[in-house]
Amino acid sequence: MFLGRVIGEVWATRKVADLEGHRLLVVEALDAGDEPSAPMVTPVVAADPMGAGVGEEVLVAFGKAARVACGGDGDYALEAAVVGIVDSHELAKGGGA
């Protein structure tokens, strides 16, 4: 799981049936200073059952946790999902990766 910021949306008129009805967002990971993480880290496309908007900070889960969050039994064709919209957060002084 990681903390990220929504930076965009994806629209696809042709997609596998598992993704029908799922909103797709582009999320960039944030570092300990709430800045985008290293440029080498690629933004992630995540399904969004929570209704997050561009600019919001979110929690993103991967794998089976993401599939279950989207209402599946763990056998959906998706790898990442927004599982929470962050109201606020605090890191200990000097904390981070």
In a domain, 74, yes or no: yes
- Write out pLDDT tens, residues 60-87: 999 888 888 888 776 778 889 999 999 9
Report the distance separating Cα 20 and Cα 36, nearest Å: 30
Report the distance separating Cα 32 and Cα 5, nearest Å: 13
CATH code, 44: 2.40.50.220
In a domain, 95, yes or no: no
- Write out pLDDT tens, residues 10-21: 999 898 888 888
In a domain, 26, yes or no: yes
| pTM (2 d.p.) | 0.83
Show the domain range for 51: 2-85
φ, ψ dihedrals at 28, nearest 5°: -105, 140
Instruction: Please tell me the total count of domains within the chain.
Output: 1
